[in-house]
């Protein structure tokens, strides 16, 4: 990796991590406060609605933002064309969501869903306005812009959400928090990023971008539906409270992984796209991403699974204890997200969105078949099935990169195995602390300290290259 690319990558990651763990850290604290003020049923309702909104937002963005990042010589005509298309298309989508809201409410036998779907659906239009700005920032690697936009949106929406919840607003507190967060984020990004659209629209450019982006659009739709299919199924066949416990249990590991992984994800794609013609350099960057991110995420997920019960009681109170098994199941599946991400970003960066789409279809077919088999046996069986499909997905994502990058599945296993084994050992020791019968706070503190010491000492003892790489990178960035 050249010096300029390395410097840009380190700077981008630093700002993205600052954004994720700064602004998102505030949001996490706010979510804990809201969990104490609201009921599991409130979270179940908002979790169900968010599924439909997320799918519509994927349609609104159409995969064109990623096409702009990947395109070698994208200019203002490209960006302007995508901007106007996204806005018009998002308005059409919002109209469809508005009209379908009563149908969704009747399907789930929850009449209260109709107004909530219609109000929260406005986020589709906001996301479309913001998507091209985000693509521009990502392409030009101005990641500090994301930090300030996210921080502003998080702080303002936090006050709004807590205030409405405290006044007894129920599910509307969560609706207001999400919408206000997006609106403030969009306004700040619009004010701080210099790009502005020209009043041009090129059908030819649109076709060229869409020829790449439509495959990513289909992949994103499939992925979004699949990632939320458990919420859809639980919402249909179980109670709002069950869905609330599942969504709350998923949120803890998701918070950790999304903050680490999305920072790597957003920085890695433009960097890999810039080096798409250099196979050796691509392999080295993908390998570095996998080794470093799994070194960070494996112990976090293993440790979180071990402290799930005392952590839940301390932060959320005992009313949320049914969420503990879901935390532990999700820790396993989310632990491997960085490996998925790095492999898929490499495939996209070399322009093979066709392979990307095929992989998504194969993985989701396997996942849905597994879900159908496990559904009659209860919620825990469904979670076990999800854990079974995780290694299958890893193999499928890694397989094409043996040919595209010369980075085989066996090499990838060797790269992640040391961190995985040390994390499992640490998890076993930390879990044993629960047997002491101490209070939740004391147990959690002992477990966290013990886990950090064991993992850091083990990494030092066995000379993990990722530890030295992270330390040297931090030193280099401080210079």
Domain-located, residue 418: yes
Instruction: Report pTM.
Output: 0.70
Of 55-64, 115-124, 218-227, 459-468, which gets the smallest average pLDDT? 55-64
- The predicted model gives 250-273 an average pLDDT of 66
**How high does pLDDT run on average in the chain?**
82
Range of the domain at 426: 239-479
Domain-located, residue 32: no
pLDDT tens digits for range 121-160 = 888 888 888 888 888 877 777 767 777 787 788 888 888 8
Max mean pLDDT among 79-83, 407-411, 455-459, 475-479 falls in: 455-459
More confident residue, 148 or 237: 237
More confident residue, 183 or 129: 183
Q: Distance between CA 135 and CA 53 in Å, rounded?
A: 21
More confident residue, 157 or 61: 157
Domain-located, residue 388: yes
Is 269's pLDDT higher than 50?
no
Domain-located, residue 338: yes
Is 272's pLDDT higher than 60?
no
Domain-located, residue 77: no
Domain-located, residue 115: no
Report the domain count for the chain.
1
Is 177's pLDDT higher than 60?
yes
Domain-located, residue 28: no
Domain-located, residue 437: yes
């Amino acid at each position: 990796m050249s010096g300029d690319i390395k410097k840009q990558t380190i700077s981008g990651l630093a700002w993205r991590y600052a954004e994720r763990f700064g602004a998102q850290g505030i949001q996490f604290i706010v979510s804990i406060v809201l969990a104490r003020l609201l009921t599991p049923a409130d979270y179940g309702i908002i979790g169900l609605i968010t599924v439909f909104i997320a799918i519509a937002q994927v349609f609104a963005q159409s995969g064109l933002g990623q096409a702009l990042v990947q395109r070698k010589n994208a200019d203002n005509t490209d960006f302007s064309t995508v901007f106007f298309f996204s806005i018009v298309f998002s308005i059409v989508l919002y109209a469809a969501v508005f009209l379908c809201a009563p149908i969704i409410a009747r399907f789930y036998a929850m009449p209260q869903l109709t107004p909530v779907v219609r109000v929260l659906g406005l986020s589709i239009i906001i996301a479309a306005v913001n998507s091209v700005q985000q693509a521009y920032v990502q392409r030009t690697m101005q990641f500090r812009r994301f930090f300030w936009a996210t921080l502003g949106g998080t702080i303002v929406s936090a006050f709004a959400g807590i205030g409405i919840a405290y006044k007894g607003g129920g599910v509307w507190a969560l609706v207001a928090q999400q919408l206000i967060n997006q609106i403030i984020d969009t306004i700040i990004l619009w004010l701080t990023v210099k790009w502005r659209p020209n009043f041009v629209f090129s059908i030819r450019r649109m076709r060229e971008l869409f020829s790449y982006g439509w495959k990513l659009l289909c992949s994103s739709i499939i992925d979004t539906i699949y990632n939320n299919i458990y919420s859809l199924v639980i919402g249909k066949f179980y109670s709002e409270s069950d869905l609330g416990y599942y969504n709350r249990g998923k949120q803890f590991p998701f918070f950790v992984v999304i903050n680490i992984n999305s920072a790597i994800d957003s920085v890695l794609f433009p960097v890999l796209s810039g080096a798409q013609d250099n196979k050796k350099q691509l392999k080295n960057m993908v390998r570095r991403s996998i080794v470093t991110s799994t070194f960070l995420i494996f112990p976090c997920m293993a440790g979180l699974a071990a402290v799930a019960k005392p952590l839940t009681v301390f932060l959320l109170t005992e009313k949320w204890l049914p969420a503990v098994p879901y935390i532990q199941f999700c820790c396993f599946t989310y632990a491997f997200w960085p490996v998925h991400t790095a492999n898929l970003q490499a495939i996209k960066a070399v322009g093979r969105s066709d392979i990307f789409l095929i992989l998504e279809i194969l993985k989701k077919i396997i996942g849905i078949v597994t879900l159908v088999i496990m559904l009659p046996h209860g919620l825990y069986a469904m979670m076990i099935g999800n854990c079974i499909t995780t290694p299958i997905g890893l193999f499928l994502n890694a397989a094409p990169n043996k040919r595209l990058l010369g980075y085989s599945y066996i090499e990838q296993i060797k790269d992640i195995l040391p961190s995985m084994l040390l994390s499992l050992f640490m998890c076993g020791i930390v879990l044993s602390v629960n047997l002491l019968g101490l209070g939740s706070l004391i147990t959690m503190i002992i477990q966290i300290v013990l886990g950090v010491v064991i993992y850091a000492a083990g990494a030092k003892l066995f000379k993990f290259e990722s530890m030295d790489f992270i330390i040297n990178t931090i030193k280099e960035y401080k210079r």
